[in-house]
Amino acid sequence: MLEIKDLRVSLEEEGKRILNGVDLTVEAGMVHAVMGPNGSGKSTLSYVLSGRGGYEVTGGTATLEGADILGMEPEERAAAGLFLAFQYPVEIPGVGNMSFLRTALNAQRKSRGEEEVSAAEFLKVIRAKAARLDIDADMLKRPVNVGFSGGEKKRNEILQMAVLEPKMCILDETDSGLDVDAMKLVAGGVNELRGAGRAFLVITHYQRLLDHIRPDVVHIMVDGRIVKTGGPDLAVAVEKNGYADILAEAG
């Protein structure tokens, strides 16, 4: 599904190197987790994959189902099936949550040559999906993320994911700012979307999210590179011992 090879990235303005050769392959149907200390480049990886400006790719490749995504505009990556659940979802006053989501869905469908979804049809779909995430009609009507609590913003991200049905979902620290109940709700939403045709890259600081979204593979990122890869046990070990052992091992 997602294949990253020797990806090297610098900050455009300062020329500071952040990713120093990331190699990572996520197969369809799999959930991979990326853990790592602060400043290791986890969020940068998610931004570079989704096409945020301000970064310069100095080497390597990233492909989604064989297509080079690094040359695409952010909206083209979305239409190709990539989705980033933001760590800090942006507030957009004056733009209704539901109408924005329909605009996004239809923009993606249009660019894939598919028929647009009617307002009535869309309403049916979104209501069912929103209910499962405990998102009420009022939240759907309100402007995008405006006045939402931290938990509501994250649930709204998962709702967007559920409606847009991407193939490759990247979750950037989706657990930050969530209490246990909100995390369960969010994890439940993610787990429902797990399936053979879809893959996940879950970026997190803590193992606790991975108690609810069980990963198939866990990667440890340090200093802009994947330094260790293992099964779910690796996350447990990190939680227990911190990154010190791994850092020492990686030199």
Partner 1 sequence: MVASAIGALSARLSGLAMPAAGWSLPARRDAALRLEGMGLPGRRDEYWRFTRPDAFNAETAPAAKVLESDEAPLFSGIDRLRVVFVDGVFDADQSDPLDMAGLEIDLLADVADRDSHWAEGVYGILEARGQDPVARPHAALNTAHAVDGVLIRATGKAAKPVAIHHYRSSETADAVLHHVVRVEAGADVTVLETGPAAARFNKVMEVDVADGGAFHHVRGQGRDHERRAATHIFARLGEASTFKSCTVTMNGIMTRNECVIELTGGGAAAHVAGAALGDGDFHHDDTVFVIHGAERCESRQVFKKVLRNGAVGVFQGKILVKDGAQKTDGYQISQSLLLDGDSQFLAKPELEIYADDVRCSHGSTTGAIDEDALFYLRSRGVGKSEAQDLLVLSFLADVIDEIEDERLAGDIVGRLETWLSRRRG
Contact residues for partner 1, defined by CB under 8 A: 50-53, 73-75, 77-79, 83-84, 86, 89-90, 92-95, 100-101, 103-105, 107-108, 111, 143, 160, 164
For the bound state, the minimum distance from the C-beta of residue 58 to partner 1, rounded and expressed in Å, comes to: 21
E strand residue ranges, the chain: 2-11, 17-26, 31-35, 55-64, 67-68, 82-85, 92-96, 143-144, 168-172, 199-203, 217-222, 225-230
The phi and psi torsions of 15 (rounded to 5 degrees) equal 70, 10
36 or 81: whose CB is closer to partner 1? 81
For the bound state, the minimum distance from the C-beta of residue 73 to partner 1, rounded and expressed in Å, comes to: 7
For the bound state, the minimum distance from the C-beta of residue 214 to partner 1, rounded and expressed in Å, comes to: 26
For the bound state, the minimum distance from the C-beta of residue 1 to partner 1, rounded and expressed in Å, comes to: 18
Phi-psi region of 102 (alpha: psi -120 to 50; beta: other; left: phi over 0): alpha
Rounded distance between C-alpha atoms, residue 218 and residue 196, angstroms? 19
Phi-psi region of 81 (alpha: psi -120 to 50; beta: other; left: phi over 0): left
CA-angle at 80, arms to 62 and 228, nearest 5°: 35
140 or 217: whose CB is closer to partner 1? 140
88 or 127: whose CB is closer to partner 1? 88
36 or 51: whose CB is closer to partner 1? 51
For the bound state, the minimum distance from the C-beta of residue 3 to partner 1, rounded and expressed in Å, comes to: 20
Amino acid, res. 73: E
DSSP, collapsed to helix, strand or coil, labels residue 82 as: strand
27 or 75: whose CB is closer to partner 1? 75
